[in-house]
Chain A
Amino acid sequence: MSTVTEAEPSFDRQATGSRLDWQRMLPWGLLALLMAAMLGLQSQLYIGQERTVTAIFMFVALAQAWNVIGGFTGYACFGQVVFFGIGGYATAVTMVHWHLSFWLALPLSGVGAALFGAVIGLPLLRLKGHYFAIATLGVAEGMREVVTNVPALTGGGAGITVPTVGEDATTAYLGNDGFYLLFLGIAALSLVVALVISRNRFGFALRAIHQDEDAAGAMGINTTRAKVLAFSISGMLTGLVGACYAFQQVVIFPDRLFDVELTVLMVVMVVIGGSGTVLGPLLGAVGLQYLSEYLRHSYTEAHTFILGAIIIVAVVFLPQGFVNYVREARRSGDYSLLANVRRYRL
């Protein structure tokens, strides 16, 4: 759905160079401004609010990570949570058994998740559409059982405790303020990665694969390499978030770290926000996580019920996502939601 504007000839670019530079720098400026605002915001928040915002940061990072494989590349990964779980367990296990510091375990977990992505990506990325979705889902479910069934290493279903207090502590617990900064950093990293990918050659290769994989291959793109790399990057980002989450939770369980619902949340956030854009998943994650938190407080009993209804309505009226809808509407001048519904109906 993302249309690529035609590249301007080089002599033209020189003439309008200053405008292009300005356009190119704008998202980076906004990102820096946003980070500064978030840093300033921290001192204004109560503890409860700080936790809520920290959770939002986490979902911003997760949504952006899924966007790399699901949005840009168009492969509906429904087992993304496997990277989250692997990152979390890699951190917990290396901190417990190898007595590593968290600051060493964190990058290791990212690398581990990236490698895992490459290894399963090679066979699985040959599949397309629903089949890829289901195969990745199968990997995530299977991995949860594997983790549950090697209690000597992972503590099994009873969970594993990250050593962060007492004598065995390898890294002191960060506290609310520390985790706010940690998750802000991870969210910023994921946004930077997505911004870079959205503007370089690799990103255009991914979009080409999304639109027509055979044509992309015919144009000289090594589709296998591009897809596996995208999957690895996406896995690495998700793994890093999982590692931070494990450290924050202290005690982790397979059922929580490999929870399908996390995957679905990532997908919902990206699709509702606008997949294949950088802004969309950001807006989707902030909006949906805030809404879900609000519903949980106000309508404890029925909050998933309402969430389900919101997903249905959003998907029917904005199937291309909020950001893509606004872009298309601005181009065509047609803001009608009904025209939007008409497009995909039978």
Chain B
Amino acid sequence: MSAFLQATVYGLLQGGLLALVAVGFSLVWGVMNVVNLAHGSFVIMGAYLGWELQVHAGIDPLLGMFAAAAVMFVLGYAIQRWLINLVVNAPIFITLLLTFGLSLLIVQGMNIIFSANYRSISTGYASTSLSMGSVRVPLGRLIAFGIAVLVTVALVALVNRTRIGLAILATGMDRGAARLMGIPARHVYSLTFGLSAALAAIAGTMVGTVDTFSPAAAGSFTLLSFVIAVLGGLGNMYGALLGGLLIGLVESWAGLYLSGTWVNAMAFLVLVVVLVVRPSGLVGRAYYAARVEV
């Protein structure tokens, strides 16, 4: 029983982190119908930025993540403005291929610059853990979880309460109408993509503090973001949080009861079942699932 409880706590904490990884991906997909295959490489890039800041400038990752987010925001804005906007009206293969090419470029670039070795951002507190009864809670993961929830709530507030957020929502719902209302769609798309890259950087820094990372992990982060975004559903910012927590729990429980690498198959099993049974996800809006191309 205590093993189950431990697995549940661990799964929830891991799920929060995964949600943070996926929330930016889900935002971009929902607003511009672009599946960003380079998202995982943004996460890893954020992790390296956090690592660099900690190693060379001695900045704690909890502060460094804001700097990493700022850098990635600018980069993401530029990528959308001068690259993805060029093909945003093309059939979906094109945006998929473009972002895949981007991810090849970034991952191999990081391999050349940082080598393929595993690294982690070491802090004094990340490895200590609190014990509550028979359950141990690693402090680093608890912090990451807290940040994931805070960031998601902040994102919802931004999108629903500010002018820029409403512009993002409006452009996502009907770009043509939004432009007629005077919303500069190119700028809004770029802002959205920059925001997503910044969120990926925050997630990456957190991943770096609680786990090891290398450029090769980019693909699996993209895949997990896929799964979580679909599971939670598009068009609702809390979807990614819910999907992340669920995937975290499923993987943690599967690790407890299943042998071998069956654990890795669980996420995809959940994905296929959700897609076939309820394509709009747990809390997503059906509109986004029915939409094929903008």
Q: Which residues of A contact B (CB under 8 A)?
A: 1, 70, 74, 76, 78, 123-124, 126-131, 133-135, 137-139, 141-142, 145-146, 148-149, 156-157, 260, 264, 267-268, 271, 275, 301-302, 304-305, 307-312, 315-316, 319, 341, 343-346
Q: Assuming the A-B contacts A139-B268, A267-B97, A312-B83, are A123 and B276 also in contact, with contact meaning beta carbons closer than 8 angstroms in the complex?
A: yes
Show 7 A/B contacts (Cβ-Cβ < 8 Å), sorted by A: A267-B96, A271-B97, A309-B105, A315-B94, A316-B83, A319-B90, A343-B89
Quick check: A130 and B269 within 8 Å, CB to CB? no
Q: In the assembled complex, which residues on chain B have CB atoms less than 8 Å from the CB atom of A127?
A: 275-276, 279
**Contact of B101 (CB < 8 Å), options: A124, A149, A309:** A309
**Contact of A131 (CB < 8 Å), options: B109, B223, B289, B293:** B289
| B112 contacts the other chain (CB 8 A) | yes
7 A-B pairs closest in CB distance: A308-B104, A311-B101, A145-B265, A308-B105, A142-B268, A344-B90, A305-B108
- A140: min CB distance to chain B, Å: 9
Within residues 85 to 118 of chain B, which ones have a CB less than 8 A from any CB in chain A?
A: 85-94, 96-98, 100-109, 112
Q: In the assembled complex, which residues on chain A have CB atoms less than 8 Å from the CB atom of B85?
A: 345-346
Interface footprint category on B: 35 or more
- B152: min CB distance to chain A, Å: 22
Quick check: B260 and A128 within 8 Å, CB to CB? no
Q: In the assembled complex, which residues on chain A have CB atoms less than 8 Å from the CB atom of B265?
A: 141-142, 145-146, 149
| B292 contacts the other chain (CB 8 A) | yes
Quick check: B108 and A316 within 8 Å, CB to CB? no
Quick check: A145 and B101 within 8 Å, CB to CB? no
- A42: min CB distance to chain B, Å: 33
| B10 contacts the other chain (CB 8 A) | no
- A2: min CB distance to chain B, Å: 12
User: A137 CA to B101 CA in the complex, in Å?
Assistant: 18
- A212: min CB distance to chain B, Å: 11
- Closest chain B residue to A308 by CB distance? B104
**Contact of A268 (CB < 8 Å), options: B88, B97, B261, B291:** B97
- Closest chain A residue to B109 by CB distance? A305
Quick check: A346 and B104 within 8 Å, CB to CB? no
Q: In the assembled complex, which residues on chain A have CB atoms less than 8 Å from the CB atom of B35?
A: 130, 133-134
User: A273 CA to B206 CA in the complex, in Å?
Assistant: 41
**Contact of B98 (CB < 8 Å), options: A146, A315, A345:** A315
Q: In the assembled complex, which residues on chain B have CB atoms less than 8 Å from the CB atom of A131?
A: 230, 275, 279, 289
Q: In the assembled complex, which residues on chain A have CB atoms less than 8 Å from the CB atom of B262?
A: 145, 149
**Contact of A134 (CB < 8 Å), options: B189, B230, B293:** B230
**Contact of A305 (CB < 8 Å), options: B87, B96, B112, B268:** B112
- Closest chain A residue to B290 by CB distance? A128
| B128 contacts the other chain (CB 8 A) | no
- B189: min CB distance to chain A, Å: 7
- Chain B, residues 270-293, CB within 8 Å of chain A (1/0): the string is 011001100100000000010111
* Most chain B beta-carbon contacts within 10 A, residue among A148, A302, A312, A346: A346
Knowing that A74-B91, A133-B35, A271-B97 touch, tell me 9 more A-B residue pairs with CB under 8 angstroms. A141-B223, A145-B261, A148-B261, A149-B260, A268-B97, A268-B100, A304-B107, A312-B83, A319-B91
User: A260 CA to B103 CA in the complex, in Å?
Assistant: 14
User: A300 CA to B33 CA in the complex, in Å?
Assistant: 35
- B193: min CB distance to chain A, Å: 12
Quick check: B103 and A308 within 8 Å, CB to CB? yes
**Contact of A142 (CB < 8 Å), options: B98, B102, B272, B293:** B272
Within residues 30 to 60 of chain B, which ones have a CB less than 8 A from any CB in chain A?
A: 33, 35
User: A233 CA to B103 CA in the complex, in Å?
Assistant: 31
Quick check: B97 and A260 within 8 Å, CB to CB? no
User: A131 CA to B291 CA in the complex, in Å?
Assistant: 10
| B264 contacts the other chain (CB 8 A) | yes
Q: In the assembled complex, which residues on chain A have CB atoms less than 8 Å from the CB atom of B89?
A: 343-346
User: A157 CA to B265 CA in the complex, in Å?
Assistant: 14
Q: In the assembled complex, which residues on chain A have CB atoms less than 8 Å from the CB atom of B189?
A: 346
| B219 contacts the other chain (CB 8 A) | yes
| B227 contacts the other chain (CB 8 A) | yes
| B29 contacts the other chain (CB 8 A) | yes
Q: In the assembled complex, which residues on chain A have CB atoms less than 8 Å from the CB atom of B97?
A: 267-268, 271, 311, 315
User: A173 CA to B90 CA in the complex, in Å?
Assistant: 46
Quick check: A307 and B104 within 8 Å, CB to CB? yes
- B286: min CB distance to chain A, Å: 12
User: A1 CA to B90 CA in the complex, in Å?
Assistant: 11
Quick check: B109 and A133 within 8 Å, CB to CB? no
